[in-house]
Amino acid sequence: MELFLDTGNVEEIKELVDILQVDGVTTNPTIVSRSGKRFTDLIKEISDIVGEDRAIHCQVVSRDFDGMIEEAEFINGLHKNIYVKIPVTHQGLKAIKELTKRGIKTTATAVFTAHQATLAAKAGAKYIAPYVNRLDNISGNGVSVVKQIINIIEKHNFDSKVLAASFKNAQQVIEIIEHGVHSVTVPTDVLDKMTCHPLTDYSVDKFIEDWENAYGEGIKTTD
C-alpha cells in the first residue's frame, strides 16, 4: 500500500518524509494556493525534498481539453516521477485518454462515483482519486464508494490504482486500508492522529520511570 502526503507545506513534508515511509506528495490548486508560493517554485521545493523516485501529483486548472493538455505537458516536465491530476469531467476524460496516448501519467481526480472511476480507468488513468470526506459531508458514504471502486478496478484488471483522498479523520483512512486500497493520500493532521495514542505516551513514560528508578541512567552501550 502506498502512502502519500496531501499537503503543500514543505516543512511538514520534510519532517514526515524523514519519519515515515512515504511514497510521494499530492497537491491540488487549493493546496498550492495555500502555500503562498509560485506554483513552479513549490513543485521544485517538493521535488528537492522527496527526490526523483517518489511521485508528485499535480493538478491542471483549465476546464477545456486544449488547456488541460497544454498544462499537463508543462506539469509533466516539472519532476521525474509526476502524475498529472485531471478532474473527471467530459473534457477531463478526453484529456486523460489523449495524455495516456502521449505517455503522460494521469490521476483522475474529484471522483465521487464508481461510474466516474470506471470511465477514468477505461480512459487510461494510472490513479483514480475518490474523495471520501466530501461525500460524507453531503450524507454520502465515501468509504463504501471507495470499496466499490476497488472491487471494480480489481475485477476488471484495470491498469489503475485507487488513491483514496479527502480525509478528515483516521477512521475513514483505516476502513479503506482494511479493504485493501492501493494508495491513500492523507493530510498531516490526520496522519498525526494515526500515529499518536495517549496510552503509548503513558506506557513510554512508565517504562522510563521504572528503568530510571532501578538504574538511574539509559542502557549502557559501551560495556
Q: What are the residues binding ligand G3P (CB under 6 A)?
A: 6, 26, 28, 131, 133-134, 165-166, 185
> What is the residue-wise DSSP string for 151-166?
HHHHHTT-S-EEEEB-
> Is 85 one of the annotated active-site residues of the chain?
yes
Residue 213 CB, shortest distance to ligand G3P, in Å, is 46
| Contact predicate 110/88, CB 8 Å | yes
Q: Which is nearer to ligand G3P, 174 or 208 (CB)?
A: 174
Of 151, 150, 154, 87, the closest CA to residue 123 belongs to 87
SS3 177: helix
| Contact predicate 176/184, CB 8 Å | yes
Residue 183 CB, shortest distance to ligand G3P, in Å, is 12
**Cα within 13 Å of Cα(137), Cβ side:** 9
> Angle between the 114-123 and 142-155 helix axes, to the nearest 10 degrees?
40
Residue 61 CB, shortest distance to ligand G3P, in Å, is 14
Tell me which H or E stretch contains 95. helix 90-102
Residue 82 CB, shortest distance to ligand G3P, in Å, is 15
**What is the C-alpha to C-alpha distance for residues 173 and 167, in angstroms, rounded to an integer?**
7
φ, ψ at 22 (rounded to 5°): -105, 140
85, 105, 126, 161: the active-site residue = 85
Residue 30 CB, shortest distance to ligand G3P, in Å, is 6
Q: Which is nearer to ligand G3P, 39 or 131 (CB)?
A: 131
Q: Which is nearer to ligand G3P, 6 or 23 (CB)?
A: 6
Q: Which is nearer to ligand G3P, 28 or 47 (CB)?
A: 28
Q: What angle do CA 64, 59, 164 make, to 5 degrees?
A: 120
Q: Which is nearer to ligand G3P, 172 or 212 (CB)?
A: 172
Q: Just list the catalytic residues.
A: 85
